[in-house]
């Protein structure tokens, strides 16, 4: 059980109290945080190393009408990056381009020789990789040998050695002077479009590129990069664009999900929009999500939205089955490992990242899951609890265990040779022991302030929403509510997996609290009349266009 620590009060002003513990202690810093300035927060794109080379090569291809391949990753970040370039090329009237998004299950991550050969046959002159490419050495060499240039636009961790591309644009590469290192792939794609508009001679209304910020906001939230600095500004203004979006697919999608367009927020992206954009590549192919974001047909939008919803329901069922089997194995082993490594040839690789996330939340240790169903090879996903850098861990595995790997410190993907599966778990455990560990406060739950249930009102919410958008490094504020009496308990969702609690205020108005995927945990086996201490965050729900202020359960103790 985590230790609850209520932070010392430094201000009666709620936003000031919260900001203080996020390192924002002066009036000037607070003003800058609460009201991000678009022009000040967005840095010059040409400060990114090699941006000038990338822009020059792309503009040359446009001028010569070379066939350009947009090679985007299959997740929400990669799809949104591809749409950003698609929209830019369409805007300037350039039609000689082809968008290629690989099959997550059949092709795997990044460039492949098969794809390169396909592009050579199409007589392409330039490949632009988006949200991938930084580790594709041999594939770039193959392209170069055929006279096909590659521009890499990525944001993943870069090795000391880089592919021999025409230009590599990635702020994480060595000696890159760009002042902000945490852009997602779509963020880097957007900066590249900014730079092309600045250097190119296009008949575009100044500021047109801001219409692309809805895509940047979706990708930034989906990729779970820090929502501070430039990212905060991109999402802050991206949400404003999203609320005015002209995209037929998004408009249809938001209606289907009962999301109020004028009030769409980062939670709607993180819990509703991004997972459904991601689901296409997990279950079938990311081309479906790309079509959703680029179609101008309301009929096509409605069909795609319905199809994605069917896939999402299938995904939920598959993930629950994987979790049930994995959890049963761990419980049967009788002891908790330092790192969880589980797999099954029948597990669907496309959904293993979701399952791994759930297992990290439950067990608080790194998780590696693998499977082969619907794929040519054994592929897997891994998630960290913050103690280890997953890329560094996979680097120290013996040569020949993995066929491929990549990702971030906290999340990654990999392929395993079939003949190495028997020893894979032991090798991961050995590698875990070798890599440096980072301390995390797993046992501490920091609470921003103690509130009364009567404080849950729109006046309090007006103060909290000033701190939005919330996300990595700017989490939702956490509050303690002591001595609450439960008025009603309900379970909902697929098989009653989610928990709902109701509390009465002094004026008899009901305040609801919800917790997802916790209803079957014995800790949350509650009944009406019990008194509890509750740790929760506040959130505004606009489900079915009905505004409701509610609590999101983080932890509780029965009195």
H-run or E-run covering 415: strand 411-416
Indicate whether 365 pLDDT > 90. yes
Range of lowest pLDDT (159-168, 258-267, 437-446): 437-446
pLDDT for the residue 496: 85
Domains annotated on the chain, with CATH: 3-35+444-558 (2.40.50.460), 41-211 (3.90.1640.30), 336-434 (3.10.310.30)
Q: What pLDDT, in 10s, does the model give residues 11-51?
A: 999 999 999 999 999 999 999 999 999 999 999 999 999 99
CA–centroid distance for 77 within its chain = 7
pLDDT for the residue 159: 80
CB-based contact 230:41 (threshold 8 Å): yes
pLDDT for the residue 530: 94
Residue 152's closest CA among 180, 179, 171, 177? 171
pLDDT for the residue 543: 66
Rounded mean pLDDT, 472-494: 93
Report the percentage of the chain scoring pLDDT > 70.
98
Indicate whether 1 pLDDT > 70. no
54 three-class SS:
helix
Range of lowest pLDDT (52-61, 89-98, 520-529, 532-541): 520-529
Distance between CA atoms of residues 166 and 164, nearest Å:
7
Q: What pLDDT, in 10s, does the model give residues 329-364?
A: 998 888 889 999 999 999 999 899 999 999 998 888
pLDDT for the residue 141: 96
SS (H, E, C) 454-486: HHCCHHHHHHHHHHCCCECCECCCCEEEEEEEC
Indicate whether 441 pLDDT > 60. no
Paired with 534 in beta bridges are: 481, 556
Indicate whether 443 pLDDT > 70. no
Distance between CA atoms of residues 478 and 18, nearest Å:
9
513 three-class SS:
strand
Range of lowest pLDDT (73-77, 159-163, 234-238, 509-513): 159-163
Rounded mean pLDDT, 148-176: 93
pLDDT for the residue 440: 61
With bands split at pLDDT 50, 70 and 90, how would you rate the model's confidence at 544? low
Peptide bond into 469 cis (omega under 30): yes
Spatial neighbors of 512 by CB under 8 A, at least 6 apart, are 500, 501, 502, 503, 548, 550, 551
- Alpha helix (H) residue ranges in 97-199: 113-121, 137-145, 185-199
Rounded mean pLDDT, 306-333: 92
Rounded mean pLDDT, 293-313: 93
Distances (CA, A) of 139 to 81, 148, 163: 21, 11, 9
Other CB atoms within 10 A of residue 272 CB: 18
Indicate whether 437 pLDDT > 90. no
Indicate whether 442 pLDDT > 60. no
Rounded mean pLDDT, 520-541: 90
pLDDT for the residue 521: 78
- Please, what is the average pLDDT of the chain? 93
pLDDT for the residue 559: 85
Rounded mean pLDDT, 373-388: 87
Give Dmax (Cα) for the chain.
Answer: 75
Indicate whether 550 pLDDT > 90. yes
Q: What pLDDT, in 10s, does the model give residues 453-469?
A: 999 999 999 999 999 99
pLDDT for the residue 495: 77
pLDDT for the residue 108: 78
């Amino acid at each position: 059980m985590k230790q609850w620590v209520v932070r010392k009060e430094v201000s009666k002003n709620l936003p000031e109290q919260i900001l203080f513990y996020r390192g924002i202690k002066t009036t000037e810093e607070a003003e800058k945080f609460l009201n991000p300035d678009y022009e000040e927060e967005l840095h010059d794109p040409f400060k990114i190393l090699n941006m000038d080379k990338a822009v020059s090569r792309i503009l040359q291809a446009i001028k010569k009408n070379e066939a350009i391949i947009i090679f985007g990753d299959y997740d929400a970040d990669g799809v949104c990056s591809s749409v950003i370039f698609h929209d830019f090329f369409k805007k300037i009237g350039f039609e000689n381009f082809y968008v290629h998004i690989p099959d997550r299950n059949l092709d795997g991550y990044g460039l492949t020789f098969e794809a390169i050969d396909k592009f050579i046959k199409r007589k392409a002159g330039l490949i632009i990789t988006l949200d991938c490419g930084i580790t594709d050495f041999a594939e770039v060499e193959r392209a170069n040998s055929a006279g096909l240039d590659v521009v890499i636009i990525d944001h993943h961790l870069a090795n000391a050695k880089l592919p021999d591309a025409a230009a590599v644009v990635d702020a994480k590469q060595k000696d890159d002077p760009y002042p902000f290192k945490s852009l997602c792939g779509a963020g880097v794609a957007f900066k590249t479009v900014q730079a092309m508009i600045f250097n190119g001679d296009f008949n575009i209304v100044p500021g047109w590129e801001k219409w692309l910020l809805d895509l940047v906001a979706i990708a930034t939230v989906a990729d779970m990069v820090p929502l501070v600095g430039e990212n905060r500004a991109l999402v802050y203004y991206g949400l404003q664009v999203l609320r005015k979006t002209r995209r037929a697919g998004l408009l249809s999608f938001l209606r289907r999900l009962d999301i109020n367009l004028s009030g769409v927020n980062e939670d709607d992206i993180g819990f509703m929009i991004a997972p459904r954009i991601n689901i296409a590549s997990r279950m079938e192919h990311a081309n479906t999500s790309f079509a959703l974001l680029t179609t101008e047909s309301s009929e096509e939008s409605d069909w795609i939205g319905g199809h994605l919803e069917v896939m999402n329901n299938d995904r939920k069922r598959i993930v629950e089955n994987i979790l049930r089997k994995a959890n049963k194995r761990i419980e049967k082993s009788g002891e908790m490992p330092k790192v969880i490594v589980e797999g099954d040839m029948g597990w669907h690789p496309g959904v293993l990242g979701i399952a791994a996330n759930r297992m990290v939340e439950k067990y608080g240790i790194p998780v590696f899951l693998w499977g082969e169903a619907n794929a040519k090879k054994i592929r897997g996903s891994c998630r960290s609890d913050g103690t280890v850098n997953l890329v560094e861990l996979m680097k120290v595995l013996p040569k020949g265990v993995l066929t491929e790997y990549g990702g971030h410190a906290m999340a990654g993907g990999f392929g395993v040779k079939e003949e190495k599966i028997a020893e894979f778990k032991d090798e991961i455990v050995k590698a875990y022991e070798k890599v440096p560990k980072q301390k995390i406060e797993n046992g501490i739950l920091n609470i921003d302030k103690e509130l009364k249930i009567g404080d849950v009102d729109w006046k309090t919410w007006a103060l909290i929403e000033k701190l939005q958008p919330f996300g990595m490094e700017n989490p939702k504020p956490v509050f303690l509510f002591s001595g609450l009496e439960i008025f009603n308990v309900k379970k909902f969702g697929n098989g009653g997996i989610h928990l709902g609690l109701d509390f009465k205020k002094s004026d008899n108005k009901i305040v609801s609290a919800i917790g997802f995927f916790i209803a079957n945990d014995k800790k949350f086996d509650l009944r009406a009349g019990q008194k509890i201490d509750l740790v929760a965050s506040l959130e505004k729900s606009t489900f079915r266009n009905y505004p409701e202020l509610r609590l999101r359960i983080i932890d509780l103790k029965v009195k």
